[in-house]
Amino acid sequence: MKKVQVFWGTTLVLLAAGAGGAAPETFTVGTATAERGRMAAGAIRVPAGSDAGYDIPVAVIHGAKPGPVLAVVSGAHGTEYASIIAVETLMGTDPRPAIDPATLSGTVILVPVVNLASFDRLTPHVNPIDNKSMNRFYPGSATGTQTDRASLAMTREVVEKCDHLIDLHGGDLDENLRPYSYWTVTGNQQQDDFSKGMALAFGLDHIIISADRPKDPNASRFLENTASTRGKASITAEAGRSGPVDATDVTALVNGVRGVMAYLKMIPSGPKPVANPIWIEKIVTVAAESDGVFHPSVTRDAQVRAGDLLGTVRDHYYRKIADIRAPEAGTIMFVRALPSLKKGDTVANIGVARK
Ligand SMILES: [Zn+2]
């Protein structure tokens, strides 16, 4: 076997041309070992420590032909359902494989739900076992709580074994969100050009330029950033909102993954890349200054001017506590979907487009 370095971080593993044929080459993630041209399902084991361990579901689709390794992960937040259903859809085999290993070039690693406890207990934002967000503690630690140990298992089994990663999210239970992707700028021009191509290939028409992510691979915090700081061009994308699974959102995410697979030449063709996306260069987060009952005045994707009313905070007697106004003009990337409001909660994220 010889390894050929192509692109930046993309490693093609080529079979040695041996007489008599080598044993079938396999690809293993956690307990899932797929032979060439096959799919296998299994689990990434998170060992017990100061709290319980658990198994993260994973599928490996090992293409018949050589090519890059693409990891697609969702469910760091286990109530961002559209993204979870999108990855599970990509695992489907009935009536035909969503991703056919017989014709695939390369390997796809699919992880639909990292934060199983959140999914099981309908807990937004955090892992209810240790109250930590499962997209803030990468690259993880063997001695921390469940989120730290799960993050380390994901780093070792998924990030280190892939060439490119797509981390899927969506509006959580309290977020009425319009779809968008993130393009992370690392400062490595070649890698950034390549990941920009991935974001365009994913097809969502709003792309947030993310230039403030940590540069240290040992303090990478986010899953996608754990791959990006290891030289692996990667993106994050979000679709879905506040609970119900909308088929439009699932389709956008599934088509996005297919678009990136076509860009990576893993499949011969895919959905068209987005032609003229809106590049968001700044996100203005508006936070609540008091507890109360939130009454939104805008919906997702609305265009607001500085000073426009975003919503009103009332008490349980319907008395007004405060009006909340937009500090800057922009697009409502998401607005709070639920009336429950605590001081410090995000009321809205406003995206400011690049001029
Ligand atoms: Zn999320």
Asked whether residue 19 carries a pLDDT value surpassing 90, the answer given is no
Strand residue runs (E) in 102-233: 105-111, 164-169, 175-177, 180-184, 206-210
Share of the chain above pLDDT 90, in %: 93
Reported pTM? 0.93
Structure-token match 């890349």, residue found: 273
Q: How far is the CA of 169 from the centre of ligand 1 (A)?
A: 4
Asked whether residue 5 carries a pLDDT value surpassing 50, the answer given is no
* pLDDT attached to residue 24: 47
Q: For residue 175, what pLDDT band results from cuts at 50, 70 and 90? A: very high
Give strand pairing partners of 320: 314
Chain-centre distance of CA 165, in angstroms? Answer: 8
* pLDDT attached to residue 10: 40
Q: How far is the CA of 14 from the centre of ligand 1 (A)?
A: 36
The one-character DSSP state at 155 is I
Q: How far apart are CA 305 and CA 65, in angstroms?
A: 52
Strands 26-29 and 32-35: antiparallel
Task: Give the containing element (helix H, strand E) for 190.
Answer: helix 189-202
Give every CB contact of residue 169 below 8 A, 6+ residues apart in sequence. 74, 76, 77, 80, 83, 135, 236, 237, 238
Q: How far is the CA of 229 from the centre of ligand 1 (A)?
A: 20
* pLDDT attached to residue 39: 97
Q: How far is the CA of 215 from the centre of ligand 1 (A)?
A: 21
Share of the chain above pLDDT 70, in %: 93
Q: How far apart are CA 313 and CA 319, in angstroms?
A: 9
The one-character DSSP state at 77 is S
Q: How far is the CA of 114 from the centre of ligand 1 (A)?
A: 11
Q: How far is the CA of 25 from the centre of ligand 1 (A)?
A: 35
Q: How far is the CA of 116 from the centre of ligand 1 (A)?
A: 13
Q: How far is the CA of 61 from the centre of ligand 1 (A)?
A: 24
Q: For residue 220, what pLDDT band results from cuts at 50, 70 and 90? A: very high
Average pLDDT over residues 267-294: 97
* pLDDT attached to residue 18: 32
Q: How far apart are CA 157 and CA 79, in angstroms?
A: 23
Q: In 10 A of CB 212, how many CB atoms? A: 8
Q: For residue 355, what pLDDT band results from cuts at 50, 70 and 90? A: confident
Q: How far apart are CA 40 and CA 44, in angstroms?
A: 13
pLDDT, tens digit (0-9, with 9 covering 90-100), for 285-328:
999 999 999 999 999 999 999 999 999 999 999 999 999 999 99
Asked whether residue 1 carries a pLDDT value surpassing 70, the answer given is no
